[in-house]
Amino acid sequence: MAPRKRRGGGKKPDEERSPAVDEEPAAAAPAVSVAYSEPLREVAQAEEEEEAADAGGDGDDEDDTAPAGSRFLEELEGNPIVVNNYSWPDIKHTLDDSIRRILVDDWHYAENHSHTDRRLLLGYSACMVSVAATAYSFLVPFEASRWAIVCGVAAYLVLNTAMVLYALLVERDCVFVGVKRDPLHMDPDQKITVSTEVDRIKAEYTFRMQFAPALRVASGGAGGGKASVVVTRSVGEWFDVEGEFAADRFLADVAAALQGGEKTE
């Protein structure tokens, strides 16, 4: 028996399909993707630019209080300060000395050493009196020099007592007295007095800035800020567990206080 022939001239099933059915979706697909992808891409780029601008603006606001190109930070770069976290004298001395360096190097205050000069004057005077009385006792017999020795000992005690009382009652917790003069001599001198104290129980450090005749900060401009600014912080904000000093954070707090108020977080 002879095999039967396939109807339709032996065409395959794929050849019977119309090519228009396959070509129409392929041509329409790019048009749809182009029409909707371009606006979405522009919206996404606009959102990214806004987020970047917001992030940049926040960073600039945080750095507004610190002077650009701080000499204080440059000196400590590569040579950080490390203290013993259990030694309060080391911690206080580090913070007190940092305030002096910031005010002199970055804010251009001229330090007034009047307190130190007066204490040195009293101390050296006491030493000179004792040396003179001792030398006189070697040159003159005791019977003739005993009253001079008594006067020398009394003067030594009085001068030393005066030096101690001056440090306790007058100088007290003052660590810096400085003056900033206007280069044009149009504004009065800006005087600043800084005093500090440490609360060992709460582990807090407090520095107080007093300005006279008024708070004038930044580049010689007159300011209407407070006449006295007090800032209290935990020492843990400026020292890590290893005792390394975070100079940039301390500089930001001091700069914020100089600009007229406590730094709020």
**pLDDT tens-digit profile of 54-108?**
554 444 444 445 566 789 999 998 899 999 999 999 999 999 999 999 999 999 9
**pLDDT tens-digit profile of 203-256?**
999 999 998 864 444 434 444 445 889 999 999 999 999 999 999 999 999 999
Share of the chain above pLDDT 90, in %: 56
Residue-level pLDDT at 259: 84
Which pLDDT band holds residue 155 (cuts at 50, 70, 90)? very high
Amino acid symbol at 74: E
Mean pLDDT, all residues of the chain: 78
What is the DSSP code string of 101-138? HIIIIIS-PEEP-HHHHHHHHHHHHHHHHHHHHHHHHH
Residue-level pLDDT at 184: 80
Cis peptide before 188 (omega within 30 of 0): no
pLDDT of 11 strictly over 50 = no
Q: In residues, how long is the chain?
A: 265
Q: Round to whole Å and give the CA distance between 2 and 5.
A: 9
Token pair, residue 195, equals 């005093």
CA dihedral (225, 228, 232, 237) positive or negative? positive
Range in 50-64, 117-131, 168-182 the model is least confident about: 50-64
Maximum CA pair distance of the chain? 164
Residue-level pLDDT at 53: 56
Residue-level pLDDT at 80: 92
Look up tokens 């709460």; give the residue.
202
Share of the chain above pLDDT 70, in %: 67
CA dihedral (55, 61, 67, 70) positive or negative? negative
Which pLDDT band holds residue 131 (cuts at 50, 70, 90)? very high
pLDDT of 8 strictly over 70 = no
Look up tokens 């977080």; give the residue.
265
At residue 115, φ and ψ (nearest 5 deg) are -65, -45
Beta-carbon contacts of residue 138 (< 8 Å; ≥ 6 apart):
none
Burial of 211 (0-12, 13-18, 19+ CB in 10 A): buried
Residue-level pLDDT at 222: 44
Residue-level pLDDT at 61: 43
Residue-level pLDDT at 186: 80
DSSP 8-state secondary structure symbol assigned to residue 244: B
Token pair, residue 253, equals 């707090």
